[in-house]
Chain A
């Protein structure tokens, strides 16, 4: 994942990374994210139910509300969005 934030984002055992969205494959991300946005992802934490998460599903990555499942497929929890305006 490429850090686009302009500042070092690693701290302790958690980290924040920015991830550009190339294509939306969202099941229920409620239209909060669009192509070209950078997702502000938190890694290193187990998600709670209903949190917006970026997960790997086979060979694609998609946004969804976390409903439980294998944490291995979790790429990060979305805590914010950075958009070019």
Chain B
């Protein structure tokens, strides 16, 4: 397969699978629906323009995977829609040798009243396959989606995971030359995800190109050969994935700074003698929201009291996206009793290595007396901060956290007496 692939790329070097030149798109925003009709009839201008994409160009060679990163509203969806030809550009062109199939929203055109088997035909026709093509790959689709006896049941009885399996199976067998994937891989169970990844690798090896849009930086680093970073509709990076991910992290951090810290002040509850004025998550230098597992994060809090408080404790709790407590501690347990003078703010920093599994986390913080908040709680802020762990620094691990492990190996005498029972 590898040899075949190299040969393939060598001959097609001059012929990209996907060639995108100068895509520009503005959306017209009308204040009232009737303005649209007036504009149409009179030819006069009644709208404001919103530029979603500005002169976006890139090419994709056979077998190449391009990751697209950008903040919300940076133009990622517009770009995907345009590649999928459901939105037309104002300027620029898209050239693709062969079919582009999108895994944008899986199961488009599925009819819940029909069986899985009938929906294979429906969905296949919808994404541009002919009846012949569908018949040719039907057996492969059925085998891949592992639906078993459910295949002849109406779709409405399927779990969402089953629908995704069916949709992915159809899309990957559709004979596309270029594949658009938008967060679609984050669904389904682990076994099927692995199967999908393996199938995608196979598709890449056979010379298929992929455009991959995701917020899962780990997956982007793992799958993509190149990363495109969009910012306000413009390409600000088109190159190595690591650089692209770093740039994206900076953009996200900048966004985090834009959010006024004071907005957090309204949140929370408590008796109010002391308050958390603001909070920030940073690395060793600057504000950041994305970390790799093992990187050091610093949680910085501004505290203020209405009156003199001699016995004050600041506690934190890191929760995962399911709201499970992952780790919590407080200043009292750490042996740093805090005290606040009236009105004089105090800055407290907690620095810790984020030895956490990739995923999204929130930080809850509280000010209270004593070593727990049960007796006297001054201020409690749920989900005060958010951060994400994407990618792993150092050895890969399984589970929710990385405990420090020391591995030692010793030569020992063979154990003659302690023989294992046979059989």
A and B: partners?
Answer: no
Interfacial residues, chain A to chain B (CB-CB below 8 A)? none
